[in-house]
Amino acid sequence: MSIHACIFDLDGVLVDTAKYHFLAWKRLTDQLGIPFTEKDNERLKGVSRMDSLEIILEIGDLKMDPRQKTEYATLKNNWYKDYIGRMTPDEILPGCLEFIKELKLADIKVAIGSSSKNTLMILKQVGIIELFDAIADGNIISKAKPDPEVFIKAANMVGCKPANCIVFEDALAGVEAALNAGMICVGVGSAKVLTKAHFVVSGLNEMTLKKLKSIEKDSRL
Ligand code: BG6
Ligand code: MG
């Protein structure tokens, strides 16, 4: 098999943190008097912290200077960190640990490719940081998904060529980033939404090494 590495997005693929992002943004939007629903929160998946704030300000038709933006993004992040600081290993999404173990036994590298600057904190909090051969996160990139930077960096860190990597992603911007990197992409979520992915599963509990091999084969046809 020519797959040498699997690169996982974090939020929405390995752990369900969207609910904590929502609670923290909701607290901020309530304070600012901006209407903000769970449906609006969907637009923030895979989007960087500052770009998320821009979307929220657009919803509320509100203008802010750069200093205020930084202040409010920091406030939101402090509330978010309060939530993720209480996460437990039970919040690792079903099937993740089993699939990653199978990959390691097959000598396939496992890496993280996430836009989140809180990646290390979350991985430590749920006790899985040791599983990864490399971690590329929001702190080491200058361009957000759909730019391929985070996935290219993850591939470089594990010494694999993009063509030998498979990305697992739950956000549209992330699927595009993987394709822009020249990697195979497995969407995690709804096939109706993640239409550009080579293959879609509803969760990593649907993944096995055998399936990985067949996805690889099909995507090369
Ligand atoms: C992504 C999330 O993984 O990380 C986004 O899907 C989030 O919702 C982004 O905005 C940045 O996260 P953080 O933790 O750096 O604010
Ligand atoms: Mg995600």
Determine which residue's CA is closest to atom 16 belonging to ligand 1: 49
Annotated catalytic residue, options 9, 107, 137, 147: 9
**C-alpha closest to that of 134 among 110, 152, 105, 115:** 110
Ligand 1, pocket residues at CB < 6 Å = 10-11, 21, 44-49, 52, 77, 114-118, 138, 171
**C-alpha closest to that of 28 among 87, 65, 78, 82:** 78
At 138 the pLDDT is 96
Please state the φ and ψ torsions of residue 188, each to the nearest 5 degrees. -115, 105
Q: Which atom of ligand 1 is nearest to the CA of 21?
A: 8
Per-residue pLDDT tens digits for 180-190:
999 999 999 99
- Ligand 1 pocket: which of 84, 115, 122 to mutate (most atoms within 8 A of CB): 115
Q: In whole angstroms, what is the distance from residue 83 CA to residue 55 CA? A: 22
- Ligand 1 pocket: which of 47, 55, 82 to mutate (most atoms within 8 A of CB): 47
At 198 the pLDDT is 95
Per-residue pLDDT tens digits for 55-67:
999 999 999 999 9
Residue 108 pLDDT > 80, yes or no? yes
Retrieve residue 187's tokens. Answer: 């969407």
Residue 220 pLDDT > 80, yes or no? no
Residue 1 pLDDT > 80, yes or no? no
The helix/strand/coil state of 178 is: helix
To the query of whether residue 11 is one of the catalytic residues in this protein, the response is yes
- Can you give the pTM of this predicted structure? 0.96
Furthest-apart CA atoms within the chain: distance in Å: 54
